[in-house]
A = this chain, B = another copy of it.
Amino acid sequence: VIYLITPTYTRLEQKAELTRLSHTLMLVKNIHWIVIEDSESQTDLVARFLKQTGLNYTHLNVPTPAEFKLNMDDPNWLKPRGVLQRNAGLEWLRRNTSPRRQPGVVYFADDDNTYSLKLFDEMRFTKKVSVWPVGLVGYLRYEKPIVQNGKVIAWFTYWKPNRPFPMDMAGFAINLQLLHDHPEAAFTNSVQRGYQESTLLSGLKISQDDLEPKANMCSEVLVWHTRTEKSKTRNEDNMIRKYGRGSDPRVEV
Contacts and interface: CB of A to CB of B under 8 A. Distances in A.
Interface in A1-38: 12-13, 15-17, 19-20, 23-24, 26-27
A116 interface: yes
A115 B228 CA distance: 15
A96 interface: no
Contacts of A156: 247
Nearest to A218: B251
A218 to B, nearest CB: 9
Contacts of A231: 136, 226
Given A23-B23, A233-B141, A251 B158 contact: no
A133 B251 CA distance: 10
B158 A253 contact: no
A194 to B, nearest CB: 13
Contacts of A220: 251-252
Contacts of A228: 226-229
Contacts of A138: 235
Nearest to A13: B226
A232 B139 contact: yes
A234 interface: yes
Interface in A194-241: 219-221, 224, 226-229, 231-236, 238-239
Given A158-B239, A220-B252, 5 more contacts: A135-B253, A139-B232, A139-B236, A141-B233, A224-B253
24 contacts: A12-B141, A13-B136, A13-B224, A19-B224, A23-B23, A27-B27, A136-B231, A139-B232, A139-B233, A140-B233, A140-B235, A140-B236, A140-B246, A141-B233, A141-B253, A144-B251, A158-B235, A158-B239, A220-B251, A221-B253, A226-B231, A227-B228, A228-B229, A229-B229
